[in-house]
A and B are shown apart, each in its own frame.
Chain A
Amino acid sequence: MARRKVPHLICPAGSLPALKAAIDHGADAVYLGYRNDTNARNFAGLNFDHKAMVEGIRYAQSRHRQVLMAINTFAQPGRAADWQRAVDGAAALGVDAVILADVGLLDYASSHHPALRLHLSVQGSATSYEAVNFAHREFGVRRAVLPRVLTLAQVETVIRNTPVEIEVFGFGSLCVMNEGRCWLSSYATGESPNTVGACSPAKYVQWEKSPGQMTTRLNGILIDCFGDDEPAGYPTLCKGRFEVQGETYYALEEPTSLNVLEILPEIARIGVAAIKVEGRQRSPTYVAQVTRTLRAALDELASDDQRFQVRPAWLAELARLSEGSQVTLGAYNRPWR
């Protein structure tokens, strides 16, 4: 029986051991970034210096896997050259594609490095086929990563109306999912993924432990209080519990992770080119666990899509790693839309 074509598996690499874990456990491609604010996971001690980058690219490409470099923050006033240098560096290193969000940078990359394959980052916030086709027409973008706001039917509509490959998120921490357009971190701290490469930067976060509870503050703003047995999440405004009209609850989003295992056959059927795993900030252990699980699921789908069934062991493994210890189909499943 012919093997069914399944989406590529794109896994996060925040360090060299994480990159190797992704490759060793079956990723088709890894995405990574420089150790600076040109990418949206600019965390202290994370990411690749030049030496690690060279070694990582060699490790992946010698095993016929791809390396995608995220340069997906927005060039800041007076510093456009830093972002242009990052693109020049990526081209010189021979990465398989760069993932860009800034329209100015897309223009720079397409005119200075016409052979460099361009992906539109989720931070570029293209949610319609018109937006995706614009990036294709103007800059020759070959793939677009869709923000996590669309239902599966809406993703299908985009795919049917564009020549651009479509990549969607398959697993990882969820936020309010309005990628590239979210102001919550800026509201609380004055800094955001688009500007400094980090949502709710760690220097603004304070965990306070007292008997029986833990409180989280972001730049002094009380985000949440957890009892000792309650699962915790990342300290972002969107995952805080707030008092709204006399009730205290997760007013914006619960701490949770996206998991598409259940709809994997549908994702393959509508022609999604790649699924992405969130989590460059997570450890090599997480990368190995998620990659291994999704690889097993995709391989099973490829060999027999009629009989594909989600195994309880896969679900259990992924739920354990999840923020707030729970998973969701997120926006993919909105029957009321």
Chain B
Amino acid sequence: MSQGFSIPRFRLPSLVSAIGAHLPQWPHSLALATALNAATKLGLLPEDSLTLLEGRSFVVEVLDAGGQACFSYRGGLFRPLFSAPQAPDLCFRANLSAFLQLLARQEDPDTLFFNRELSIVGDTELGLVIKNMLDAVEWPQLPTLPIFRH
């Protein structure tokens, strides 16, 4: 959808994941939880979908970066988890380029899933809630920077 600016499919060199996996993971968890709370506060995430996340734990794993973010949703807040849960309710796994393409609404999650670029393990219905929640978000218009123009 982003006309004139597209994220290519790429894979980070294996050295990145080798190093990344040895770095502390909690900063990713903290950053993602903070971003999600900010989105909630802006009213971007619909409340009826959020209530379905109550008490559930999530892992987002960026394979080629060797990084993962773990968080849960409790009492209306996304909370970072400082160690990976044994059995998260839901785990998304993909390479960095696939996650970026998803966030930029450049690729459809089902397309990535059919092509085996995105894996979803755990509570499938919970995965659907999250996917549909993100699809329904009307992101505020980004300021038109010259880089995004034709």
Contact = CB atoms under 8 A, between A and B. Distances in A.
Interface stretch (A95-103, A131-139, A224-232): A224-232
B114 A281 contact: no
Given A207-B121, A209-B121, A281-B110, A229 B116 contact: yes
A16 interface: yes
B35 interface: no
Interface stretch (A81-89, A267-275, A318-326): A318-326
A246 interface: no
Contacts of B135: 14-15, 17-18, 283-284
Nearest to A44: B129
Given A17-B136, A43-B128, A285 B115 contact: no
Contacts of B115: 231, 320, 325
A323 B114 contact: yes
A68 interface: no
B133 interface: yes
Contact of B119 (A18, A209, A283): A209
Nearest to B138: A17
B52 to A, nearest CB: 7
Contacts of A286: 108, 110-111
Interface in A221-257: 226, 228-233, 235, 255
Given A231-B115, A284-B1, A322-B114, A45 B121 contact: no
Interface residues of B, number: 33
Contact of B131 (A49, A228, A231, A283): A283
B38 to A, nearest CB: 20
B12 interface: no
B105 interface: yes
Contacts of B88: none
A18 B134 CA distance: 12
Contacts of A90: none
Contacts of B116: 226, 228-232
A214 B119 contact: yes
B107 interface: yes
A103 B44 CA distance: 40
A254 B95 CA distance: 27
B137 interface: yes
Nearest to A257: B114
A280 to B, nearest CB: 10
Interface in A12-31: 14-18, 21
Given A16-B138, A17-B138, A43-B132, A285 B1 contact: yes
Interface string A179-206: 0000000000000000000000111011
A233 B113 CA distance: 8
A285 B105 contact: yes
A258 B112 CA distance: 18
A282 B114 contact: no
A252 to B, nearest CB: 18
B136 A16 contact: yes
A284 B128 CA distance: 15
B114 A324 contact: yes
A17 B110 CA distance: 17
Given A202-B125, A232-B116, A17 B137 contact: yes
Interface string A274-295: 0000000111111011000000
A46 interface: yes
6 contacts: A14-B132, A202-B127, A209-B93, A285-B105, A285-B108, A286-B111
Interface of A: 14-18, 21, 43-46, 49, 52, 201-203, 205-209, 214, 226, 228-233, 235, 255, 281-286, 288-289, 320-325
Interface of B: 1, 46, 48-49, 52, 93, 105-111, 113-116, 119-121, 124-125, 127-133, 135-138
Going nearest first, the 3 A-B pairs with the smallest beta carbon separation are: A45-B132, A286-B108, A202-B125
